[in-house]
Amino acid sequence: MALHKDIKDLKIALISPRAVASKNMIRRVQPPLGLCCIAAGLRAEGYKNILVYDTLIEDYDDVRDLDSGSDMISYGASNEKIENKMKEFKPDIVGVSSLFSSQVSQAYEVAKTIKNYNKKTIVVFGGIHASDKSEEVLNDEKNVDFIMRGEGDYTWSTLIQNLFLEEGKLSEVPGLVQRDGKNFIKNPMAPLIHDMDALPIPAWDMVPMEKYFEIAMYHNPYVKSGRVGCIMTSRGCPDRCYFCASTVFFGHKFRQMSPERVGEMVDYLVEKFKIKELQIEDDNFAVNPVRVNKICDRIKHHKLRITMPNAMRADTPLNREKRLDMYKNMKEAGWDQIGLGVESGDQKFVNEVVGKRLNLEEVTATCDLAHKAGLLVHTNFMMGFPFETKKSRDLTIDFAMKLDSDSYSLSLATPLPGTKMWDIVEKNNLFHESYNFDTGLPTLVSIKPHDISDVELKNLVENTNKKLNFKASQKRQAVRDKYKLLKSSVHGDRKYMDPSSASIEIDKEIIPMTKVLSNEGTHGTENRGVARPEVAEKDKN
Ligand code: B12
Ligand code: SF4
């Protein structure tokens, strides 16, 4: 494709599509970190006209039923709005983030909208889902021209040069997938990025940060200030959980930013955006405890409130004294809560099926250590694994009930493309009849249960969640105080119950949630999440 203007003047739009959720999930929204990384990479190469367009923040309150009668919604800017934006910006090429499998139907809508606006505009998909299901995406959606697999931080400028310069060759673009008649040409992937410190600071300045601050519905929505920075300080995880899509994409090698680089990124967020809280999105933040301690020392002067919406291993470092020291440092640096990935209370299942090799005794010990350090603990469990038995479920419930965790997420296992669990589900024809990518959410049954009905399984998971979180809320005032931070939610960190189901049964007594949180200032709940004027107001003071 010949180019008549300076390549650096090309207009590049990067779009994050509408999100899909079920009605009882909160509508989360935070800056699309992947697109901000790509934009920063392009800017560093000298590209001048870059638009990062996050449909979610552009129209957070445009909530639509996905199919009439279903429990599913999508939210974000409409196709008309996206088209109008394209008419205004006139991109030469558009990159669409196809990160979540559950979002792919919405990503297709974006592709159709772009081609509707101008057939000549090149549409490129990238992100975790598109990388793993590249052929399927190209088969399903003719409006997608190319897929770029893998990390996009540096590969975009190679793509653009080879697409738009006369001497360019598409065979040179790492990770590119294109149609070839009925077949596909798949270029080898670029190597994973190892020098994490060399990555430019994500282009948060290209998204409307104030709007995110105002809505304040982040990955962890329990925030004291709306001014939150969401960062990632490492990629990759050495663990091998069989359900995890993250390692399929980012690999098992732990690739870490130095404490100094993390510090620079945090300094930037504090100085430029006046953030007051930090959410660290790493998959397994504490793989290197020495680094954690150094990061604590480097950033504690900012006095930020820090949470980790994702989990870390409960047994890092293995030495409990050192673990306690690390937790104390984290507390001193501003951490309020840590998250632990436990997955199941069935030790044999954790070791032999999940592939996590985690001694559950360490989980129990860690709850005590974290409390000693003054931290709250959130634990993550799953149910509804392929061929799971009642015995295994009972062990999970029993373990979680006895555990001194301050809040719990018990999710329904969801098959994610590329994972070992996906392969097991596919091979054994275990996809639930209602399953499609849209419904691949942790609040819905995606895998045919083995020895329980789907309805019973869903109810069991929902009720157990409520019981666990109720139990936890009775123990510590700090937990009840945390719930006050999200008045529109009922209970739990990731499970947001519909108000109509907001009661729990304990020993045959039905207790409404309002009573569960009695005198704690709980207000009416809203099942679709709300913008949070009270947080925005507090920030002004
Ligand atoms: C933060 C996060 C969220 C946030 C916000 C994500 C966002 N918009 O930025 C929230 C809380 C909303 C969220 C929700 C969910 N999440 Co989530 N989330 C993450 C997490 C922890 C970090 C994402 C991130 O910022 N990564 C860092 C950046 C740098 O990477 P990136 O976004 O992938 O971008 C890079 C590449 O993908 C690529 N790229 C990205 N876009 C594009 C576009 C083009 C054109 C190109 C070429 C390249 C490209 O280049 C980027 C730079 O290298 C990941 C785990 C992980 N390690 O990534 C899970 C992850 C993405 N989530 C996952 C899932 C399943 C979900 C949920 C469905 C369920 C849930 N667990 O609650 C929901 C669904 C969201 C919805 N409503 O549609 C899965 C996705 C797997 C899949 N196939 O679907 C992951 C991988 C977790 C896992 N362990 O498996 N999530
Ligand atoms: S610990 Fe987390 S990131 Fe690592 S493999 Fe398990 S689920 Fe994936």
* pLDDT tens-digit map of 63-120: 999 886 678 899 999 999 999 999 999 999 999 999 999 999 999 999 999 999 999 9
**Nearest residue CA, atom 11 of ligand 1?**
219
Nearest to 327 by CA among 283, 366, 278, 285: 366
* CATH 3.80.30.20 domain position(s) in the chain: 216-540
Sheet holding 407-412, edge to edge: 337-343, 376-383, 407-412
Q: Is the dihedral of CA 391, 393, 396, 401 positive or negative?
A: negative
- CA 295–ligand 2 middle distance (angstroms): 21
Q: How open is the CA angle 292-295-301, to the nearest 5 degrees?
A: 135
- Ligand that comes closest to the CA of residue 285: 2
CB neighbour class for 520 (10 Å; exposed up to 12, middle 13-18, buried from 19): middle
**CB distance 102 to ligand 1 below 6 Å:** yes
- CA 221–ligand 2 middle distance (angstroms): 22
Residue matched to tokens 């639509």: 64
What are the helix (H) ranges across 178-278? 209-215, 246-250, 259-273
| Confidence tier at 196 by pLDDT (50, 70, 90) | very high
- CA 383–ligand 2 middle distance (angstroms): 16
**CB distance 234 to ligand 1 below 6 Å:** no
Q: Pocket of ligand 1, candidates 35, 98, 100, 178: which has the most ligand atoms within 8 Å of its Cβ, to mutate?
A: 100
Cis peptide before 317 (omega within 30 of 0): yes
**Nearest residue CA, atom 76 of ligand 1?**
19
Range 434-455 average pLDDT:
92
What is the H or E stretch that residue 436 is in?
none
**Nearest residue CA, atom 2 of ligand 2?**
283
pLDDT for 439: 87
- CA 515–ligand 1 middle distance (angstroms): 36
**CB distance 417 to ligand 1 below 6 Å:** yes
CB neighbour class for 476 (10 Å; exposed up to 12, middle 13-18, buried from 19): middle
Ligand 2 atom at minimal distance to the Cα of residue 237: 4
- Ligand that comes closest to the CA of residue 415: 1
**C-alpha span between 133 and 382 (Å, rounded):** 25
**CB distance 34 to ligand 1 below 6 Å:** yes
CATH T-level fold of 216-540: pyruvate-formate lyase- activating enzyme (3.80.30)
- CA 236–ligand 1 middle distance (angstroms): 13
pLDDT for 536: 61
**C-alpha span between 52 and 205 (Å, rounded):** 10
The Cα-based distances of 62 to 81, 94, 102, 272, 521 in angstroms read 11, 23, 18, 29, 29
- CA 35–ligand 1 middle distance (angstroms): 11
**Nearest residue CA, atom 71 of ligand 1?**
442
- CA 120–ligand 2 middle distance (angstroms): 41
Token pair in block for residue 120: 């000549």
**What is the chain's Cα-based Rg?**
23
| Confidence tier at 22 by pLDDT (50, 70, 90) | confident
**CB distance 76 to ligand 1 below 6 Å:** no
Ligand 2 atom at minimal distance to the Cα of residue 310: 2
- CA 177–ligand 2 middle distance (angstroms): 27
pLDDT for 530: 43
Residue matched to tokens 């673009």: 173
The whole-model pTM stands at 0.92
- Name which residue leads in pLDDT, 462 or 96: 96
CATH number for the region 7-186 comes to 3.40.50.280
**CB distance 152 to ligand 1 below 6 Å:** yes
What 3-state class would DSSP assign to 306? strand
Percent of the chain predicted with pLDDT > 90: 77
Contact 454, 432 (CB under 8 A): yes
Ligand 2 atom at minimal distance to the Cα of residue 240: 5
**C-alpha span between 91 and 86 (Å, rounded):** 7
Token pair in block for residue 154: 């540096």
- Ligand that comes closest to the CA of residue 282: 1
**CB distance 219 to ligand 1 below 6 Å:** yes
**Nearest residue CA, atom 8 of ligand 2?**
244
Task: Spell 366-395 as b/e; 16+ CB within 10 A means b.
Answer: bbebbbebebbbbbbbbbbbbebeeebbeb
Position 350 pLDDT exceeds 80: yes
| Confidence tier at 268 by pLDDT (50, 70, 90) | very high
**CB distance 221 to ligand 1 below 6 Å:** no
- CA 34–ligand 1 middle distance (angstroms): 8
What 3-state class would DSSP assign to 279? strand
- CA 249–ligand 2 middle distance (angstroms): 12
Q: What is the pLDDT of residues 362-404, one digit of tens each?
A: 999 999 999 999 999 999 999 999 999 999 999 999 999 999 9
**CB distance 241 to ligand 2 below 6 Å:** yes
Token pair in block for residue 355: 């592939």
| Confidence tier at 504 by pLDDT (50, 70, 90) | low
* CATH 3.40.50.280 domain position(s) in the chain: 7-186
- CA 413–ligand 2 middle distance (angstroms): 14
- CA 398–ligand 2 middle distance (angstroms): 23
